[in-house]
Structure 1
């Protein structure tokens, strides 16, 4: 990829980092937010759950509505909105205002994701598209894993307002980078709403969306209880758990690089092997979860496969509806968040009903389901876009 195009893909990824950092980083300061507004931690958790709900609702709708707008302009608008609402949240006098400042930009979260993914693929040839998407996904990984500890650290050494200012600053830097370095990207061939919606008639797309929901459910059913597992089962200290999160995130960035290469060359084979590979990791975690060193090695492999699952889910949906890329990416965001919600809920049931060490069985259950739908799609709809070469 030429250097100029690599820079633009990096900027798109940095914008996603800013948005994901806003979404997930708040988790690290929920206790302080509860104290600030005199509410319970569970009430403060609405800042996370309602954000995700807004993303899931907007995912199939807003990317479709904005699919004809200049892509640079819409990215600037979305990132700019995140800057403004983050600043409002810093000075919010009560929890209701803070909650509104979170929910409003959340509706536009899938718009930026959709446009960023579509723009990244427009910079490269079709066979290099998975690699470009994988690089953009680095922003997701960084936001999920780096955002939480950084925000928590800032709040610990300074104030909660300074931690929230970090959200605004990152998004402001992304806004400036997009403004200065990303060229105007008008939509030259606008696809009508009717044509985009018509992709919903394709059984392969529905099968792909169900697969994405299963994959994300299987990933988050276990990952949502990552820290608790290391605490209760592996008996790691808080500092060591933080280190394991960093290890997981670093491995995830490496996984993005592998994902782009594997999906470019052997998409169907990679997708078929993924649920088997993650299922084996979960089984080994169950068998060796009490041992620190084996768990560290498993976490490294787990991190690589985790981001591979994100890439596969996005590719599986967009390759099934390549004629409506913006809408397809919006569907990925919606069904991905649906998977996160389902997986976390089911994983929680396993934890409360059977114990923390048994949460891996919820992940294995979803991996079995995703393998079935991946195999079904591969056998029924083996096309050039998803063939294993």
Structure 2
């Protein structure tokens, strides 16, 4: 195997590792009804598996990668993935919901560390001008974990068992652990950026406006998506197998959305961001109105999947374009505050479900979309955007 092919193999291993971690985080969305049934809890309580995991990531995001930045990167990745494997196995045999919750929260604090190290490791496999290209490949692991891992876990839970679905998370991460052990060389740290240089970007108001926007967008997305399976079960009256198919449809169109996002953000970034809350708001409104009808919901889910991954890309672009001088730290901020948005959105969505019913999670999503639109308009009116081409974007 040539050196170039070997380095490409390393990048794919890193992308698969990212997929495994995101799959662990978001895969439970597709199996929430089964988890709620097994432990005798409500849908909003089951939502804690997503919201508290994301909260741990949000807390650790700006801190843990910097604290552990001096450790050999291969050893650090093995540490993180190893912890995820153990937590996944504990989840399979969790005797109650509390233990399941703890088993998920503990590894979440190291979630941002793997992301940070994976992007640096990928960058080290190529020349400087190709760094963005390889980090974009690693970022595809995020998209795959969010929009493909969920339907796979749902399908396994529905056709085999809930435990088999949880084993799927463990096997994916164990495969990554083995691959890193065998194929990725030792990566000692030779240079370490100062904390002050990275933290200095937080002095810019545009960064804070962008952070608030990312929180609002992701809150809007996950106020609904965290209860995707629950909504189709309770409102659309779909069976488990039908829900699995809808999650697969959502994932497939999500891949299309990821491809479209690159073109739209490179050509008309601000316009894309401005239109996004309006487009997703229209879909949410139609989901509220026609949620009881299967055929309209199939069409809406297909469009929803496209908009979902577009929202992820907009969020990443919004922060990294606000702090181009510190792309690594900016990516850490994206991971942290996107996950804070997941926490806030899931919590508020669950609040509306508990108080008004599953259908009314839509209201939470619409409120956050209105806030995100206001913040996008604020940034667009106050700052002239720095045009960043797709090939120059730092993936997160």
With normalisation by structure 2, the TM-score equals 0.81
- Superposed displacement of residue 68, structure 1: 4.5
Q: Distance in 2 between matches of 1:31 and 1:231?
A: 11
Q: Distance in 2 between matches of 1:325 and 1:179?
A: 28
- Residue 161 of structure 2: SS of its match in structure 1? helix
- Superposed displacement of residue 305, structure 1: 0.8
- Superposed displacement of residue 297, structure 1: 1.2
Q: Distance in 2 between matches of 1:110 and 1:360?
A: 29
Call closer, same or farther: CA 1:48–1:196 in 2, change over 3 Å: same
After the TM superposition, which residues 349-364 of structure 1 pair with which residues of structure 2 at under 5 Å, given as runs?
349-364=351-366
Equivalence for 2:236: 234
* Equivalent pair of 2:249/2:301 in contact (CA under 8 Å): yes
Call closer, same or farther: CA 1:307–1:16 in 2, change over 3 Å: same
Call closer, same or farther: CA 1:235–1:150 in 2, change over 3 Å: closer
Q: Distance in 2 between matches of 1:353 and 1:102?
A: 27
* Residue in structure 1 matching 2:22, options 14, 20, 23: 20
Call closer, same or farther: CA 1:14–1:26 in 2, change over 3 Å: same
Matched, 1:144 2:156: no
* Equivalent pair of 2:64/2:113 in contact (CA under 8 Å): yes
Q: Distance in 2 between matches of 1:237 and 1:96?
A: 28
* Equivalent pair of 2:32/2:46 in contact (CA under 8 Å): no
Equivalence for 2:347: 345
Call closer, same or farther: CA 1:99–1:294 in 2, change over 3 Å: closer
Which sits farther off after the overlay, 334-343 or 281-290? 281-290
Q: Distance in 2 between matches of 1:127 and 1:308?
A: 19
Equivalence for 2:381: 379
Call closer, same or farther: CA 1:29–1:367 in 2, change over 3 Å: closer
- The CA deviation string for residues 307-354 of structure 1, in whole angstroms up to 9 with x for no partner, is 111121122122322333333222222212221122123223434455
Matched, 1:247 2:249: yes
Call closer, same or farther: CA 1:110–1:153 in 2, change over 3 Å: farther
Call closer, same or farther: CA 1:119–1:328 in 2, change over 3 Å: farther
- Superposed displacement of residue 211, structure 1: 0.5
- The CA deviation string for residues 141-183 of structure 1, in whole angstroms up to 9 with x for no partner, is 2233323433554426xxx3x5443322211211233344446
Which sits farther off after the overlay, 220-229 or 184-193? 184-193
* Residue in structure 1 matching 2:281, options 254, 276, 279: 279
Q: Distance in 2 between matches of 1:101 and 1:295?
A: 35
- Residue 384 of structure 1: SS of its match in structure 2? coil
Unaligned runs of 5+ in 1: none
Q: Distance in 2 between matches of 1:366 and 1:94?
A: 33
* Residue in structure 2 matching 1:212, options 211, 214, 218: 214
Call closer, same or farther: CA 1:3–1:317 in 2, change over 3 Å: farther
- Superposed displacement of residue 367, structure 1: 1.5
- The CA deviation string for residues 11-55 of structure 1, in whole angstroms up to 9 with x for no partner, is 2231122112323445637856986xxx65368776555433322
Equivalence for 1:41: 41
With normalisation by structure 1, the TM-score equals 0.82
* Equivalent pair of 1:129/1:264 in contact (CA under 8 Å): no
Q: Distance in 1 between matches of 2:52 and 2:291?
A: 33
For the aligned residue pairs, the C-alpha RMSD in angstroms reads 3.4
Which sits farther off after the overlay, 47-56 or 124-133? 124-133
- Superposed displacement of residue 120, structure 1: 5.1
Matched, 1:293 2:286: no
After the TM superposition, which residues 1-389 of structure 1 pair with which residues of structure 2 at under 5 Å, given as runs?
7-26=9-28, 28=31, 40-41=40-41, 48-89=50-91, 100-117=102-119, 119=121, 125=130, 128=133, 131-132=136-137, 134-141=139-146, 142-151=148-157, 153-155=159-161, 160=163, 162-182=164-184, 189-386=191-388
Unaligned runs of 5+ in 2: 391-396
* Equivalent pair of 1:89/1:101 in contact (CA under 8 Å): yes
Which sits farther off after the overlay, 295-304 or 284-293? 284-293
- Superposed displacement of residue 249, structure 1: 1.4
* Equivalent pair of 1:127/1:264 in contact (CA under 8 Å): no
